Structure 1
Amino acid sequence: MNYKETTEWLFNQLPMFQLQGAAAYKNDLSNILHLSNRLNNPEKNFQSVHVAGTNGKGSTSSMLASILQEAGYKVGLYTSPHLKDFRERIKINGEEITKDYVVEFVSNYKSFFEENQLSFFEMTVGLAFKYFADKEVDIAVIEVGMGGRLDATNIINPIVSVITNIGLDHTQFLGDTIGLIAIEKAGIIKKNTPVVVGEYLNETQKVFVEIAQNNKAPIYFAQDNHFDDLPCGLLGDYQIQNKKTVLQTIELIQTKFNISELHVKLGLLNVVKNTGLLGRWQQIHEQPTVICDTAHNAHGLKIVFNQIKKQNFEKLHIVLGVVNDKDLDTILPLFPKNAFFYFCKPNIFRGLDAAILKEKASKFNLSGEIYNSVSEAYNIVLNTASNNDFVYVGGSTFVVAEII
């Protein structure tokens, strides 16, 4: 198989959460442990930082990787989901895994995958860990896919664990309260391994402290510490707290890695250039100003809409699409009622029909029109909005992926 055929085979395998949602969720680590053993446990051949949380995982992981790159280290970065190309998930010093490596890996282990009914995510994690080991990275920053305790990435023994924050998301898998979700995220805390918590509530702090104490894991709460607000290439307001989480983490790993103040400053400034991270309060057009963002739950969207309020514009336009398992009752009340909406369906299996989205939105006094696709909605808004208007594109990672 060539690269296109290989990735199509991967996407068409057993359920993948990115496309199919609930059916992709596994309730134990037996498969990934079996795969890791087949690969000779590659995750044991490199040091790692493990990053979990409801929001900010990708930004935090990318900032950490960028700082380590500026310090001269060979840095693996594993994130998900991808926006355009599968290879975005697996990078070393900002360079995507090669197509040839992906093809060879799948070819070598395809029969094993099929015999053991591995999920898309399990196969991808195995690929990333073997790639990082084969390429002899100095350290890898590993972002969990969802949750933490049962996430396929949770077979690593990192030098530090990071939990960015806790919000209500993926409740059908992780629990329907903040406390239950915190327990799942805290599943990445390892014995005698420091853990950094970015943001916490009283309810989640108790969970983190108890689990950390049970594991004799030193715990650090980044939001309680003062750090200089350094300039960053990621411009969203939510990056303020993510930066604090990163700086707290860097403080801890400086005992093992030679990281200077200059490396930190350059790493934050050059994070997009160094890692290729996209879709975080990213401006993609001027006159009108167009911002796209992958925020898709209440915790993230609140910050995004507060930032929109700070902008100067005449009219607000919102290109909006979501997936069909999104809890609209929790997010639609957050959207500004003075905006005109361009309702559309992201081009994936799980995309919610735009007519259903419009009907639901009307119950929250959000008005607009239905469009046949994300690209049609985006092209119409560019031709409709005046130079002094503001356009926001979001609601789902998949909506952003179609226009950047």
Structure 2
Amino acid sequence: MNYQETLDYLYQSLPMFQRVGQSAFKKDLTNTLALCKYLGNPERKFRSIHVAGTNGKGSTSHSLAAVLQAAGYKVGLYTSPHLKEFTERIRINGQEVSEDFVVNFVGNHQVFIEQLKPSFFELTVGMAFEAFAQEAVDIAVIEVGMGGRLDSTNVIDPILSVITSIGYDHMAFLGDTLPAIAGEKAGIIKYQRPVVISLDQPEVREVFDQKASMMQSDIYHAIDFFEVQKTGQENGFSKYQVFDKQNVLQLKELVFGLNGNYQRMNLPGILTACYLLQKLGYNISLESIQHGLAEVVHLTGLKGRWQVLQNQPIMICDTGHNEAGIKEVLAQLDTYQYHKVHLVIGMVQDKDVKSVLMLLPKAANYYFCQAKIPRAMPAENLKVLAAEYELVGKAYQDVETAINAAKSEAQADDLIFIGGSTFVVAEIPDL
């Protein structure tokens, strides 16, 4: 098989949660453990950092990888889902694995794959571990797919775990209260391995403290170490003042290459993790932290986080897709000066769509669309549901058509925002 045939085989043969939803979700780690054993347990051949959370885990994962790269380490990075190309999921020093690696991995192990019948995600996790072991990375940053306790990535024994914010998402799988969801995320806390909690949320703090105590793990609440305040922009980058509460990094000012205002909630956890990596023996200088965070997009290839796509009219995309994420998106939109706002919005059917629609501004022009995945809510259905919340617009059968419609109607002093789903952002042309 060539590369495209290999991808077609993966998409068609293996259940993929991003495309089909619940039917692809496995409630145990049996398949992942079996796959890793068959591959010779590659996950034991490199050190790792494990990152979970509802929002912020992707930005945090890329940021830690960038800092470690800036410090001179060979760094693996596993994230999901991909936006444009499958190979985005597996990177080494910011470079995606080759198409040949994907083809050879599937071809060499196809017989076992067809016997085991893993999910798409289970297979890609094993593929990532194999790539990192083959390339002998110094350390790999592994982002959880969903939850934590039962996520396929949770077969690693990381040197450090990081848990970002907890919010309402994937409630059919993780629970319908924040403590229940936090309990699933806390499943990545390993025996006698330190854990960083990025955001102080009183309603779930006890969940993490109890789990860490049970696992005899040192727990570091980032709020006890750092406070950050955004002070403005510098050459298109966000600029922050950092208050070091325990004098551990002596960092007063920071330029961050990720522009969403919500990054202020991720930075304390990222900085606390950097401090702990220093304690664990990693040679990470302040210069490495500053360079890595300023150049995170260039170093890791991260896309879709408050990304400005054009000016006049300004057009921005962001992958925020649940209630907490959309609240932050809307708060940042309020910081812009514009005549009229045009929202290109698509969502997936198994999300709490109504909780998001309740937040959206009634005065905006709407362009409802659907990504090319089975989970996508049909644009016409989204339009009808949105009308119940006095959100008025037209339905478009694909993302590109909706964007073109918004661009044709927007004036130079307007603002276009594209989002509602990672999969909508993924289909933006030339992203």
TM-score bin (small chain):
over 0.9
What are the residue-to-residue correspondences of 1:181-220 with 2, within 5 Å?
Answer: 181-220=181-220
Query: What is the alpha-carbon root mean square deviation over aligned residues?
Result: 0.9
Q: Could you list the runs of 5+ residues in structure 2 that have no partner in the other structure?
A: 228-241, 243-252
**Match of residue 238 from structure 1:** 262
What are the residue-to-residue correspondences of 1:72-151 with 2, within 5 Å?
Answer: 72-151=72-151
In the TM superposition, residue 264 of structure 1 has moved relative to its aligned partner by 0.3
Note the alpha carbon deviations across 1:361-393, whole angstroms, 9 max, x for none. Answer: 111111111122110110111111011101110
Q: In 2, distance between residues paired with 1:372 and 1:140?
A: 39
In the TM superposition, residue 238 of structure 1 has moved relative to its aligned partner by 0.9
Normalising by structure 1, report the TM-score: 0.99
Q: In 2, distance between residues paired with 1:189 and 1:295?
A: 25
User: Secondary structure, in 3 states, of the residue corresponding to 1:284?
Assistant: strand
In the TM superposition, residue 171 of structure 1 has moved relative to its aligned partner by 0.4
Normalising by structure 2, report the TM-score: 0.93
Do structure 1's residue 248 and structure 2's residue 253 form an aligned pair? no
Amino acid at match of 1:214: M
Do structure 1's residue 160 and structure 2's residue 160 form an aligned pair? yes
**Match of residue 348 from structure 1:** 373
Q: Could you list the runs of 5+ residues in structure 1 that have no partner in the other structure?
A: none
In the TM superposition, residue 334 of structure 1 has moved relative to its aligned partner by 1.0
What are the residue-to-residue correspondences of 1:325-344 with 2, within 5 Å?
Answer: 325-344=350-369
Q: In 1, distance between residues paired with 2:45 and 2:15?
A: 29
Q: In 1, distance between residues paired with 2:398 and 2:102?
A: 31
**Match of residue 19 from structure 1:** 19
Q: In 2, distance between residues paired with 1:212 and 1:44?
A: 22
Q: In 2, distance between residues paired with 1:202 and 1:312?
A: 35
**Match of residue 386 from structure 2:** 361
Contact preservation (8 Å) 1:191, 1:215 = yes
Give the stretch that moved more between structures: 217-226 or 166-175: 217-226
In the TM superposition, residue 332 of structure 1 has moved relative to its aligned partner by 0.7
Q: Aligned residues, how many?
A: 404
Q: In 2, distance between residues paired with 1:16 and 1:348?
A: 10
Amino acid at match of 1:195: V
**Match of residue 246 from structure 2:** none
Q: In 2, distance between residues paired with 1:296 and 1:247?
A: 25
Contact preservation (8 Å) 1:166, 1:200 = no
In the TM superposition, residue 19 of structure 1 has moved relative to its aligned partner by 0.3
Q: In 2, distance between residues paired with 1:18 and 1:168?
A: 18
Contact preservation (8 Å) 1:280, 1:292 = yes
Q: In 2, distance between residues paired with 1:13 and 1:147?
A: 24
Q: In 1, distance between residues paired with 2:78 and 2:64?
A: 12
Amino acid at match of 1:396: S
Amino acid at match of 2:306: W
User: Secondary structure, in 3 states, of the residue corresponding to 2:315?
Assistant: strand
- Equivalent pairs: percent with the same residue? 52
**Match of residue 288 from structure 1:** 313
User: Secondary structure, in 3 states, of the residue corresponding to 2:36?
Assistant: helix
User: Secondary structure, in 3 states, of the residue corresponding to 1:231?
Assistant: strand
Contact preservation (8 Å) 1:223, 1:241 = no
Give the stretch that moved more between structures: 394-403 or 6-15: 6-15
